[in-house]
Amino acid sequence: MSHTAASIANVTASVLVTGSHVIGEILENVTHAMDHHKDLDHGHHGNHGNHGDHVEVADDHHQEHTDHHHAVSYIPWNNPDNVITAEQRDLGLTIIDCGLVPPVVLFGLIGNVITLMVFIRQGIKEKTNICLFALAVSDTMFLFTTYMEKASCLVTRMDEVIGKNWAALLHPQGHFISVYFGRVTSLLTMVIGLERCIAVLKPLKAKTWLTAKRMRSCVISVYVIIALLITPMFCVYKTRWEYDTSINRTRIYLETTQMFEENHRAFECYGDIALSIALRQIPCYMVALSTIAVICTIRRQKSWRSETRTGKKDFSAQEKKLTKMLVAISCLYVFCLTPGNILMIVRHVITDIHVGRKKHNLAILLTAANVFTEIINSSCNFVIYMVMSQKFLATAKNMFGCDEKKANPSTSDKPSSTKQTAVAEVSSRVAT
Kindly report the CATH class assigned to 86-399: mainly alpha
Q: Which of 162, 186, 427 is nearest to 288 (CA)?
A: 186
Quick one: which of 175, 215, 137, 192 has its CA closest to 325? 192
Per-residue model confidence as pLDDT tens for the chain (432 residues): 444 444 444 434 444 334 444 344 444 443 443 343 334 333 333 333 333 344 544 433 333 333 443 334 456 667 777 788 888 888 998 899 889 999 999 999 999 999 999 999 988 888 889 999 999 999 999 999 999 888 888 888 888 888 888 888 888 888 889 999 999 999 999 999 999 889 888 888 888 888 889 999 999 999 999 999 999 988 888 888 988 888 888 888 888 888 888 888 888 889 888 888 999 999 999 999 999 999 998 888 777 666 555 555 555 677 788 889 999 999 999 999 999 999 888 888 888 887 777 888 888 899 999 999 999 999 999 999 999 988 899 999 898 887 655 445 444 444 444 445 444 454 455 443
CA-based nearest residue to 378, from 113, 93, 135 = 135
Taken in order 378, 379, 384, 386, is the CA torsion positive or negative? Answer: positive
Quick one: pLDDT at residue 12? 42
pLDDT, position 307: 56
CA dist 250 and 238 (Å) reads 16
pLDDT (0 to 100) of residue 85: 84
Question: Which is nearest to 284 in space by CA: 381, 349, 367, 187?
Answer: 187
Whether this model's pTM surpasses 0.85: no
What pLDDT, on a 0 to 100 scale, did the predictor assign at position 309? 56
Alpha carbon 206 to its chain centroid, in Å, reads 27
d(CA 351, CA 362): 12
Give the E-state strand segments of 257-307 in sequence order.
none
pLDDT of residue 64: 37
Number of helices and strands in the chain (H, E): 18, 4
Determine the distance from the C-alpha atom of residue 387 to the mean position of all C-alpha atoms in its chain, rounded to a whole number: 22
Neighbours of 385 (CB within 10 A): 24
The domain segmentation of the chain, as residue ranges, is 86-399
- Report the candidate in 115, 170, 112 with the shortest Cα–Cα distance to residue 142: 112
